[in-house]
Chain A
Amino acid sequence: MATSTVLSNPVVKIGAVDLSDQCTSATLSYKIQALQANAFGSTGIAYVGGLQDNTLSLDLYWSTSASETYATLKSLVGTVIATVTIQGSSAATSATNPIGTLSGSFLSEEPVVYALGALTTCNIVLMGGTFAWAEA
């Protein structure tokens, strides 16, 4: 049985900036709204596709060193981010290693969690935009 292997070297980029080594989790919700398209005579609920309603949640370590998480995100809160890409492996893009691009998503907040005895983390949620997979 074919299975998905545990990801060990996925790639997460915000624009051209590679944040993979600060990222511990990326949760993509690639969603298209389901619009009811019923009419008189319908005998069951019928749907058609509406707008995309995507979210991409990233769990990141919070580092304030040069060119790290803080430097990357500090000016992005409240803005539309041109592209964010995710990929299961750093290997070449292919049908078995597609790259997903979220274009035009909005970053609303940047919550940072400082906790005793734990690495400081930040979970950001990129909302909206359009998403597409590419295999080449």
Chain B
Amino acid sequence: MDRYIISSIRVGEIGTAFIASPSDDIAWLLEGGFIQRSDTHPSKGAKLATKPDATENKKD
């Protein structure tokens, strides 16, 4: 089973596991940079492949 970690605060806490619901479009979330595929479960020290988008101010 594929595992994903959250890489955008728009989806949840960055670095935590993304628990997909049946209606979630995983391909769209990956493309938008909201989640990343993970080979390691976040609880076991998974690292984000790219820098997350978290900033103090979400507006640019």
Contacts and interface: CB of A to CB of B under 8 A. Distances in A.
Interface of A: 15-19, 21-22, 61, 63-68, 71-72, 74-76, 82-83, 103
A103 B25 CA distance: 13
A66 B32 CA distance: 8
Interface in B1-38: 7-12, 18, 20-21, 23-25, 28-29, 31-34
A72 to B, nearest CB: 6
A65 B53 contact: yes
Interface of B: 7-12, 18, 20-21, 23-25, 28-29, 31-34, 53, 58-60
6 contacts: A16-B18, A17-B11, A18-B11, A67-B7, A67-B33, A76-B28
A64 B32 CA distance: 11
B32 A67 contact: yes
A68 B31 contact: no
A75 B10 contact: no
Contacts of B29: 15-17
The dominant DSSP class at the B interface is loop
B59 to A, nearest CB: 6
Contacts of A75: 28, 31-32
Given A17-B32, A61-B59, A67-B32, A82 B11 contact: no
Contacts of B31: 75
B60 A63 contact: yes
A97 to B, nearest CB: 20
B23 A67 contact: no
Q: Which among A63, A67, A82 has the highest number of chain B CB atoms within 10 Å? A: A67
